[in-house]
A and B are shown apart, each in its own frame.
Chain A
């Protein structure tokens, strides 16, 4: 015979103002098996928990129902309290009478009725609860960081600092990300390379860090503490272990007309290339789309000039497998291409550039050696128009609905740097709003206006028209003076929206983690768990989670490292015992469950069964790996024969709840 205790919480006035808690306790006291039913002001407080503990001891309870807030909030609290006095924690049920009742109803009578019904359902379920024991699984003490931008580098450095091994997988030939392409950084205007490259070198030299550049994650299996990841090391046709980065091959390569992606296609590189002087690792890579040797077997110059014999035209993609305890995603962002906005003439006028292109045009290692010249005729521009919010804050299919967050600040930076270096250049910035929340940010923007005389105009550019004389007519609104302006510009700079890297979505699928509709990775809780994903062991770092500037990226990167370290220091982690299992006598081996399992926890075995007529038959039946199963319950719904069942949420338990509600 069950002996069940019911505990109804007031939650101050959160519940008690809308639900007659005493009436709920009274009503539930008449339910079958209930031996004690009490209410209390704050059940989660220490004295509230003591009430539950004492009742368990005194009344020798076999089950507990707490009518309170969501189980997400305090289920663990009450499970722990029960366990401390010897009751199996899985014999505790929560009836959510706050989020699902008092907070969403106004009428006391009907809210009280509903609370009673929810309580009855929980009592009905507890009758069928069985004690469960959570298993343990070991933690592999190694972390994987996907993406080697400033986010990935900082996370890796912090994890390594704590003494754990960490691998960075970077899809490009070098780490560094977008920060390596930026010239100077707001709000202090220090040079990006001067603060980034020491960190890149530190990562390369750290004994705990392994960098897999020009590599991608191609498969992920397993679960928190024990992921198995396949890394594809793309063929770079250069032996990384031999190449010294001398650069001789890149000087001698005759194929010199390859658009240089590091300089945003504003100049050319050779088919064998090192992206930039401070690349890490400083190793050459051959671009198979342009290398004449790889395309038609003619050339081979680089292999002749390389003194260490590092060139290897026969290299193929390699796959390595490695185990990790935690995975940090740091895949960053890219600016969108503004070519869908015909009104800005980006596709037809070389002097209309994006902000990232401008960074390269102003950079000493850029196509013009740091002198700002118009891409079309290499003359010095005297009037420059900046357009903010290009493709951001858009409610159309061409753009993004969100504010890209960094462009107000970098536009102020660009405007200021240009005015500083070329005082004879007039700079106009068209803005909808100037958004500068951040330490010393608004002061920075005001300096652009007050000290550097940048013309900030409230309004948007409507049309950009390249003229035959090489000038650009910019037609725009000045909303404050209620005028339509025409500015005779030499260059137009578009502060384009940023979006997550295109590889992020397939990666999210591999990691069984969630993304929002814009393909930014979703955090487990927008306020309280901003660096973890909802999938245990998958942690988020940098702009892959949402638009961020460098200070914010680095802060999140270190937070992500802290989460990874918190996992790696454990020798083992407690598993969730609420996992699925199949009733082999009912399973017909149809594979429905395997198809829906998002974690790949289900496999099939051929087993011998004794049939009713005493013969034996071999049947294919499902079996669940309890270490991989996350207890989502998808299989139990999909199984046509009702063979799949979930511990703690069995079909009979759910039906008992439904019956209690419908009674």
Chain B
């Protein structure tokens, strides 16, 4: 990950990752925790260190439900979901566009999927 990309992520997320005090409340609250290789607090810490490459290649980007529970509960106002979203955007842009069109989605749905996840999938894969 070069310096430019790191700055881009910090700029698009609008988050000051240095405010994190490493309490782990975001990861404690995250409903997708078990699905994720890297957890919300790790996103924040790794972006702070500039260690973004592993995040860009990780499935975790697409496991975040964008539920914003971490944003709501972070005592320092760090807004981890926005960091996840910014890394996700960086990855999507690098891959050169969308992977899905809306009409592909109904076939992929299953009954256990929460409403929220469907909405969030649209956010992630379209635009």
Interface size class of A (residues with CB under 8 A): 20 to 34
B28 touches A459 (CB 8 A): yes
Are A395 and B75 in contact, CB atoms less than 8 angstroms apart? yes
Question: How far is A479 from B23 in the complex, measured between Cα atoms in Å?
Answer: 8
A370 within 8 A of B: no
- Give the complex CA separation of A459 and B40 in angstroms: 13
A381 in the interface, Cβ–Cβ < 8 Å?
Answer: no
Interface string of B24-63 (1 = CB under 8 A from A): 1111111001100001010000000000000000000000
B75 touching A477, Cβ below 8 Å? no
User: Which residues of the other chain, A, contact B123 by a CB distance below 8 angstroms?
Assistant: none
Q: Who on chain A is nearest to B72 by CB?
A: A343
| Most chain B CB inside 10 Å of its own CB: which residue of A394, A395, A396, A477 | A477
Confirm or deny: A389 has a beta carbon within 8 angstroms of a beta carbon on chain B: yes
* Nearest CB of chain B from residue A173's CB, rounded to whole Å: 37
Q: Is the CB of B77 within 8 A of A477?
A: no
Query: Bound complex: CA of A432 vs CA of B69, how far in Å?
Result: 19
When distances are taken between beta carbons in the complex, the residues of chain B under 8 Å from A477 are 23-25, 27-28, 41
Q: Sort chain B's interface into a size bin.
A: 20 to 34
Residues 468-492 of A, flagged 1 when their CB comes within 8 A of B and 0 if not, give 0000000111010010100000000
Report A580 CB to chain B, min CB distance, Å. Answer: 46
Q: Contact at B30–A484, with CB atoms within 8 Å? A: yes
**CB neighbours of B41 from chain A (8 A):** 477, 479
Within 8 A of B (CB), among A457-474: 458-463
A325: interface (CB < 8 Å) = no
- Residues in A whose Cβ lies below 8 Å from that of B73: 343, 462
B37–chain A nearest beta-carbon distance, Å: 10
User: What's the minimum C-beta distance from B82 to chain A, rounded to whole angstroms?
Assistant: 15
Check: A393 CB closer than 8 A to any chain B CB. yes
> Which of A394, A458, A476 lies in contact with B75, CB distance below 8 A?
A394
* Inter-chain contacts of A463 with B (CB < 8 A): 28-29
Do residues B27 and A432 form an inter-chain contact, with CB atoms below 8 A?
no
Q: Please, which residue of chain B has its CB at the minimum distance from the CB of A461? A: B28
A399: CB under 8 A from chain B? yes
Among candidates B23, B34, B75, B76, residue contacting A484 with C-beta atoms closer than 8 Å? B34
Instruction: Choose among A399, A432, A458, A462 the residue that contacts B21 (Cβ–Cβ < 8 A).
Output: A432
A432 touches B22 (CB 8 A): yes
State whether B19 touches A460 (Cβ < 8 A): no
Cβ proximity bits A389-404 to B, threshold 8 Å, 1 near / 0 not: 1000111100100000
Residue among B22, B24, B29, B73 with the highest chain A CB neighbour number at 10 A? B24
* Mask: chain A, 257-297; 1 = CB below 8 Å from B; 0 = not: 00000000000000000000000000000000000000000
Residues on A with C-beta less than 8 A from B34 are: 484
State the Cβ distance, A72 to closest chain B Cβ, in Å: 35
Q: Is the CB of A462 within 8 A of B27?
A: yes
Tell me the complex Cα distance, A107–B69, Å.
Answer: 52
B78 and chain A: residue at smallest CB distance: A395
- Complex contacts, B75 vs chain A, CB 8 Å: 389, 393-396, 399, 460
Which residues of B are found within 8 Å of A484, using beta-carbon distances? Answer: 27-28, 30, 33-34, 39
Chain A residues lying within 8 Å of B30, measured Cβ to Cβ, are 462, 484
Chain A residues within an 8 Å CB radius of B77 = 395-396
- What CA separation (Å) do A461 and B41 show in the bound complex? 13
Q: Which of B74-109 contact A (CB under 8 A)?
A: 75-77
Chain A residues near B76 (CB-CB < 8 A): 393-395
What is the CA–CA distance of A484 and B24 in the complex, to the nearest angstrom?
10
Are A479 and B29 in touch, CB under 8 angstroms?
Answer: no
Q: How far is the CA of A242 from the CA of B94 in the complex (A)?
A: 85
Hey, which chain B residues are within 8 Å of A395, CB to CB?
19, 75-77
Shortest Cβ gap from B104 to chain A (Å):
32
Bound-state CA distance A611–B61 (Å) is 86
Q: Residue A460 contacts which of B23, B33, B39, B69 (CB distance < 8 angstroms)?
A: B23
A-B contact pairs, 9 of them (CB 8 A): A343-B29, A393-B76, A394-B75, A459-B24, A459-B27, A460-B25, A463-B28, A477-B23, A479-B27
Which residues of chain A have a CB within 8 Å of any CB of chain B?
Answer: 343, 389, 393-396, 399, 432, 458-463, 475-477, 479, 482, 484
B residues with a Cβ closer than 8 A to A are: 19, 21-30, 33-34, 39, 41, 69, 73, 75-77
Q: A396-B77, A475-B28 are in contact. List 8 more A-B contacts (CB 8 A).
A: A393-B76, A432-B21, A432-B23, A462-B25, A477-B24, A477-B28, A479-B27, A484-B33
- What are the 4 closest A-B residue pairs judged by CB atoms, nearest first? A462-B28, A462-B29, A477-B24, A460-B25
